[in-house]
């Protein structure tokens, strides 16, 4: 179990496999929710009920130390039982999310906002042994810097800036221009920028000449500030990780900063490392499952579909109809199988469209989801098509890398090309997601560019849909055209 300041979650596993990874937001309906002890009881009850277990079936309880709302000095109550918890650490839990990499030996960069373990550190994982080999809290590669910058540019609220809006600033950075003089000032002010500011950032923001007004489309000064922070973060990531390359050719990145897809893509393409692995849930949303995987690594799985499954599954029978709808210009919501774990919709709780023009991006992102105009939407491509469409060196099954789009994509799928010419790519194989792979292959057989725009089925500020009822409500309350509830086609009336 993980409480934290945001993204509380629970995982239940047997001796053979993970049975359920349940994010509290999917139960309580509040995005990025940090639960109370009473709310955790409710989420745990929902998880146990889903897997058909009772408190009497529990053999071991792991509870993360960071912001735990239970008293961990005494046995905790689970139903009518009292169980002595195994207390786990924040960074170790993050490292555990990298177990699906399959690395027996490798470096793990935990780049985060902060915890009892600090912000950022480099670890060496070697056949079950984990050693912290460097503390990186005073470098630019921390979530504190990125969260503070988000607080200065897109979201004045401290918790929302750090918990949910860093991705917005990354999207905004593409609209700005790098400023070397501004970068020097950032480094001069590093101790102040590289700390938490729950009291607000008014003084810091004014020091850098940023206005007091937060707009839906920020002004150029904010765009340039975001671009400069992003560039410096990337440069520091490359420099810091290269310093440890002699210890391993393999690197995993975990923690909230592992969601920086632009930096990830640039690092992967440098060739500094032979392999760069980003988990499906590297942020706090994966804390509970990371704790289990680090303690029981044989349970690790590469599948990101570890949420609740309500017996509804899309099959190849509906692929022709979905392709018909996509080719007719419809925006299609797909609900199938178990929900995704982590922040990305990867085909089971997705909104899909053919990305033929920027009007598609505006319709999906702004009109349907209610997001800001500077935020991009992502493509899905077949893994074998990655070199055809993108300048990317390694697959991206969890939408973890942004790569520069080639001309064929820029001209034929402009809705998923950001203003900097990149896309946050998701690659699929027939084994990873047979249904989505068949959709893309059918498009190719029809002579259509096999790229589909993909974003999560939710509106801004709300969690991704989880239940069939959630999906039906989404159809009823948004201007999406069609919902496929498994193979059942429901059209907006």
Q: How many CB atoms lie within 10 A of CB 320?
A: 13
Rounded distance, CA 17 to CA 51, Å? 12
pLDDT in tens, 279-302: 999 999 999 999 999 999 999 999
Q: Which of 88, 118, 149 is the last residue of a domain?
A: 88
Residue 135 lies in a domain: yes
Query: In this structure, are 70 and 119 located in the same domain?
Result: no
Rounded distance, CA 478 to CA 493, Å? 11
Overall domain count for the chain: 3
What mean pLDDT comes out for the span 87-97? 98
Query: In this structure, are 110 and 82 located in the same domain?
Result: no
Yes or no: say if 67 and 5 are a contact pair by the CB < 8 Å rule. Answer: yes
Residue 94 lies in a domain: no
Residue 233 lies in a domain: yes
Backbone φ and ψ of 88, nearest 5°? -115, 160
Give the helix ranges, DSSP H, for 105-219. Answer: 143-153, 158-163, 166-173, 180-188, 190-193, 202-207
Query: In this structure, are 256 and 405 located in the same domain?
Result: no
pLDDT in tens, 240-267: 999 999 999 999 999 999 999 999 999 9
User: In sequence order, which residues have a C-beta less than 8 Å from that of residue 272 and are 6 or more positions away?
Assistant: 238, 241, 242, 245
Residue 26 pLDDT greater than 90, yes or no: yes
**How confident is the model at residue 79, as a pLDDT?**
86
What mean pLDDT comes out for the span 124-132? 96
Residue 493 pLDDT greater than 90, yes or no: no
Nearest alpha-carbon partner for 367 in 491, 214, 470, 477: 477
Yes or no: say if 156 and 214 are a contact pair by the CB < 8 Å rule. Answer: yes
Query: In this structure, are 191 and 250 located in the same domain?
Result: yes
Query: In this structure, are 414 and 363 located in the same domain?
Result: yes
Query: In this structure, are 60 and 119 located in the same domain?
Result: no
Domain holding 262: CATH number? 3.30.420.40
Query: In this structure, are 185 and 122 located in the same domain?
Result: yes
Residue 427 lies in a domain: yes
Rounded distance, CA 199 to CA 208, Å? 18
Rounded distance, CA 101 to CA 131, Å? 18
Domain holding 467: CATH number? 3.90.870.20
Do the bridges between strand 105-110 and strand 250-254 make them parallel or antiparallel, or are there none, so unpaired? parallel
Q: Which of 281, 305, 330 is the last residue of a domain?
A: 281
Q: How many CA atoms lie within 13 A of 444 on its CB side?
A: 12
Instruction: Domain of residue 321: give its range.
Output: 316-491
Query: In this structure, are 449 and 322 located in the same domain?
Result: yes
CA dihedral 460, 48, 45, 474 (to 10 degrees): 20
Query: In this structure, are 71 and 31 located in the same domain?
Result: yes
Query: In this structure, are 118 and 242 located in the same domain?
Result: yes
Q: Please state, rounded to an integer, the average pLDDT across all residues of the chain.
A: 97
Query: In this structure, are 248 and 324 located in the same domain?
Result: no
Rounded distance, CA 378 to CA 397, Å? 12
Residue 483 pLDDT greater than 90, yes or no: yes
CA dihedral 5, 349, 371, 450 (to 10 degrees): 130
Q: Which of 49, 66, 88 is the last residue of a domain?
A: 88
Rounded distance, CA 172 to CA 150, Å? 10
Residue 450 lies in a domain: yes
pTM: 0.97
Residue 235 lies in a domain: yes
User: In sequence order, which residues have a C-beta less than 8 Å from that of residue 16 and are 6 or more positions away?
Assistant: 299
Query: In this structure, are 172 and 36 located in the same domain?
Result: no
Rounded distance, CA 306 to CA 18, Å? 8
**How confident is the model at residue 189, as a pLDDT?**
97
End-to-end CA distance of the chain: 42
Residue 2 lies in a domain: no
pLDDT in tens, 398-442: 999 999 999 999 999 999 999 999 999 999 999 999 999 999 999
Residue 16 lies in a domain: yes
Q: 3-state class of 13 per DSSP?
A: strand
pLDDT in tens, 168-177: 999 999 999 9
């Amino acid at each position: 179990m993980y409480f934290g300041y945001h993204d509380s979650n629970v995982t239940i596993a047997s001796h053979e496999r993970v049975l359920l990874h349940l994010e509290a937001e999917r139960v309580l309906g509040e995005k990025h929710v940090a639960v109370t002890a009473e709310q955790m009881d409710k989420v745990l009850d929902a998880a146990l009920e889903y897997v058909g277990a009772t408190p009497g079936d529990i053999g071991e309880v792991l509870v993360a130390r960071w912001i735990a709302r239970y008293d961990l000095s005494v046995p905790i109550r689970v139903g009518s039982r009292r169980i002595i918890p195994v207390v786990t650490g924040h960074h170790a839990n993050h490292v555990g999310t990298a177990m699906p990499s399959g690395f027996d030996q490798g470096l793990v960069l935990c780049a985060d906002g902060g915890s009892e373990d600090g912000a950022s550190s480099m670890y060496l994982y070697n056949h079950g042994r984990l050693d912290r080999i460097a503390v990186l809290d005073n470098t630019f590669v921390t979530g504190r810097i990125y969260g503070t910058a988000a607080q200065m540019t897109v979201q004045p609220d401290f918790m929302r800036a750090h918990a949910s809006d860093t991705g917005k600033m990354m999207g905004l950075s593409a609209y700005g221009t790098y400023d070397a003089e501004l970068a020097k000032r950032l480094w001069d002010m590093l101790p102040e920028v590289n700390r938490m500011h729950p009291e607000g950032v008014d003084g810091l923001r004014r020091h850098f000449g940023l206005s007091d007004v937060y707009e839906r489309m920020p002004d150029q000064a904010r765009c340039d500030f975001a671009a400069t922070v992003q560039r410096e973060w990337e440069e520091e990531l490359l420099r810091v990780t290269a310093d440890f390359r002699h210890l391993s050719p393999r690197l995993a990145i975990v923690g909230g900063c592992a969601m920086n897809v632009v930096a990830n893509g640039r690092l992967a393409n440098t060739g500094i490392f032979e392999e760069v692995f980003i988990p499906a849930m590297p942020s706090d949303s994966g804390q509970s499952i990371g704790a289990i995987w680090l303690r029981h690594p044989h349970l690790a799985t590469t599948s990101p579909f570890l949420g609740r499954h309500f017996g509804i599954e899309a099959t190849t029978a509906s692929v022709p109809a979905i392709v018909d709808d996509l080719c007719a210009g419809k925006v299609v919501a797909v609900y199938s199988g178990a929900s995704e774990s982590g922040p990305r919709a990867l085909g089971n709780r997705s909104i899909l469209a053919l990305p033929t023009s920027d009007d598609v991006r505006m319709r999906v992102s702004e009109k349907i989801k209610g997001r800001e105009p500077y935020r991009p939407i992502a493509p899905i491509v077949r893994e074998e098509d990655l070199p055809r469409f993108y300048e990317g060196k390694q697959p991206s099954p969890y939408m973890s890398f942004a790569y520069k789009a080639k001309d064929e994509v820029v001209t034929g799928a402009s809705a998923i090309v950001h203003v900097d010419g990149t896309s946050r790519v998701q690659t699929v194989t027939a084994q990873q997601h047979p249904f989505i792979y068949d959709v893309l292959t059918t498009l190719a057989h029809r002579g259509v560019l096999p790229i589909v725009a993909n974003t999560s089925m939710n509106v801004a500020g709300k969690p991704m849909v989880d239940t069939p009822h959630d999906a039906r409500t989404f159809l009823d309350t948004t201007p999406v055209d069609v919902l496929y509830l498994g193979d059942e086609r429901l059209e907006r009336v």
